[in-house]
Chains A and B, each alone.
Chain A
Amino acid sequence: MNKIPLIIQREYFSRVKKKSFLLTTFLVPLFFIGMYVGIFYLTKKSFDDSHSVVHVVDQQGTVAGLLKSNKNLTYTTSSIALQKEIENLKNEEEKTNILIVPSDFYESRRVELLSSGKPNITTQNEVKDQLKEIIRNSEYERLGLDGENIKKIDDTIQISAKELGEDGDAKESHTEVAMGIAMALSVLVYLSLFLYGAQVMRGIIEEKTSRIVEVIISSVKPFQLMMGKIIGIGLVGLTQFLLWLVLTFALTSVATTLIFDQQDLSAQAAAQSLQGGNGAAAAQGMDFLNALQSINVTELLVCFFLFFMGGYFLYSALFAAVGSAVDSETEATQFTMPITMPLLLTYILSFGVLVNDPNGTIATWLSFIPFTSPIAMLVRVPFGVPTWQIAVSLVILIAGFLFTTWVAGRIYKTGILMYGKKASFKELIKWFKYKS
């Protein structure tokens, strides 16, 4: 009777039922949502906090009248002497600034801004924008131009960059979005290969140190136990991804509906202070959405699934061999380091060479080598990769994990029964050569 399903079942449920699994599964999306809400809240708060009072000491004479108070800034024309004003400033509790406009302002274009605290960037920018506007208007007047008409000129330009596909169709290319997705995938795959690979290793070390392994392998073949564990933990990983995906979508949409109104308000506030800013932001948002739609989500998900699973099987088999060879996790480090080197290398490269030149020689080669392809290929996929390359890479990856599983199985079989023996690479090779 084949007992692998039984083993898979135990490995799967004993992990899924654990509190720590539930905790990470539910807390991670909450954490992201929390960050999302937190950033939003902080941004909004900084808007609210940025309200300041600016006392204008206008030595020039005409400028103070042209400055307009708004939501963020309140201008008051100061009538008292500058020295007195500075004295007052020191005792102020609310954010207060003194704007000194010198008499030669139109020529020198210099002003001074004194603040009770650290000078606020928002305030500085607003004052600067308004002063620019004043200068501009005065220049229009001097040159005899109609300022109102000039403002009406619309100089917005949109570039839609398109990529010429093999079939001759031009499709929109969104390099930044592809880069973002590629890097996110790289982080996700790298971390999860490590996370679940280490779980396989830890499980095997646990069985070995608790000695239950001897009872189990008197009932099933060592290889069955190893495969059952690898598949079981792989399924735990997929379950976790699926739950994360569902939860993140659900929570994000809830959060968005709840805070949508406030977001709207702050957007209006931003629009008030930054002329035309709202329009630009909206255009950018639309752009981003378009870009997201241009990425083939189904292809991405399928590739992620296949390459993650392939990479997981390949690496977890190696982790299993390591787990069988050692008596403790600390001892395992000397083996896991060299094994995960290719992974680490690809991970680091993925932020530079791979995203910058996804179809270059290095990227292409790395996406075919089974030890690096789970990351390298996934980094390339958002940029578009010919299907044959994906297929070939997958076949090599499958061959790769069949090979590592075979090697690992042989080491595992001997390793799990070697208690208290310091394993070295030489030893592992010897175990590998033992005949069954």
Chain B
Amino acid sequence: MLEIKNIVKQYSNHLALNNVSISVPKGSIFGLLGPNGAGKTSLIRIINQITAPDSGEIFFDGEPLKPRHIERIGYLPEERGLYKKMKIGEQMLYLAQLKGLKKADAVSRIKYWFEKLDMQSWWDKKVEDLSKGMQQKVQFVATVLHEPDLIILDEPFSGFDPVNAQIIQKEILELNQKGATIIYSTHRMESVEELCDYIALINKSEKVLDGSVSAIKRSYKNQTYMIAYKAKPGIDFQATENSLFEIVTHQVLSEEMEMTVRIADETSLNDLLLFLIERIEIHQVREIVPSMHDIFIDKVTQISTPLL
């Protein structure tokens, strides 16, 4: 859907984007991650043609990105804003028309969304009379009103209570199922795992990681397992010398004990189990897969110590 190639953006005294290349597959939900000030907003602004890159190219659906593509993109900026004194209905109509929608179409779509999100009575209200969460809802609808093929959401859940966040998440997934490609920029990692198929991580103006969420997680697995067990009487397996694994943590709970172990590179889980079965009573074994959160922290802080 979107092919970003070698984008460089230089501001007067700092480099905002350094040779960033990202590929956003059609129909995916693409997580654009990175800490504050990493360059996410700069990149999003370039995709929206608000600013131009110093060098590099962007292809939209195979064609070089042109002003006419703007009508196929919906953008929800992190810094939300609406005309405070303007009526909601008029405001949506205006924003939709700016995106090239005809007035009649815009009206019918606004009505559709108002009904869908239970906002019918808002048409004649002014933005300043709405709560912050309600304003966010309005802004979300304004973003998707013209049925864009590419929807760019910058922190779409900030300012929503859990109930409304759920509603919006449902809408995002529905839009995605209907074929829209979604770029989701955030630093809230838990939602990334729930929503995203692909991610790209930007840190200090550079892309440090990208790929499908499952592949990334797979590559970050590091042979670590959690094992809950009960010790067999008379055997202190911890004292046994072995080359199979090392115990990373160990704790004694009321009924059982729990430990995390990392097995050596050439060993398999089976080897570990064979060894343990003779010595302890295993209650539970679970592979520890690093969360996106952990991967994010690891990549961003650039600490080379192993993950947990």
Contact = CB atoms under 8 A, between A and B. Distances in A.
A221 B50 CA distance: 8
Give the most central of B51, B85, B142: most A CB within 10 Å: B51
A402 to B, nearest CB: 23
B30 interface: no
Contact of A215 (B12, B67, B95): B95
B118 interface: no
Contact of B100 (A1, A10, A206, A211): A1
Contacts of A14: 83, 85-86
Nearest to A209: B81
Which of B48, B83, B142 has the largest number of chain A CB atoms within 10 A?
B83
A169 B155 CA distance: 76
A219 B71 CA distance: 7
A38 B50 CA distance: 57
Size range of the chain A interface in the assembly = 20 to 34
Contacts of A216: 95, 98
B85 A6 contact: no
Interface in B8-44: 12
Interface string A1-31: 1010011001000100000000000000000
B285 interface: no
B200 to A, nearest CB: 20
A210 B50 contact: no
A6 B77 contact: no
A430 B86 CA distance: 34
Contacts of B94: 6, 10
Contacts, number: 61
Q: Which of B73, B79, B84, B100 counts the most chain A CB atoms within 10 A?
A: B79
The DSSP consensus for interface residues of chain B is loop
Given A14-B85, A210-B83, A218-B70, A417 B98 contact: no
B100 A214 contact: no
A187 interface: no
B70 A419 contact: no
B98 A214 contact: no
Interface string A217-253: 1111100000000000000000000000000000000
B77 A210 contact: no
A212 B70 contact: no
B50 A215 contact: no
A6 B81 contact: no
A279 B131 CA distance: 71
Interface string A397-434: 00000000000000000000101000000000010000
B52 interface: yes
Interface of B: 12, 45, 48-52, 67, 70, 73, 75, 77, 79-86, 94-95, 97-100, 139, 142
17 contacts: A1-B100, A3-B97, A207-B83, A210-B81, A210-B84, A211-B80, A213-B81, A214-B50, A214-B75, A215-B75, A215-B81, A216-B98, A218-B50, A218-B77, A219-B70, A219-B98, A417-B50
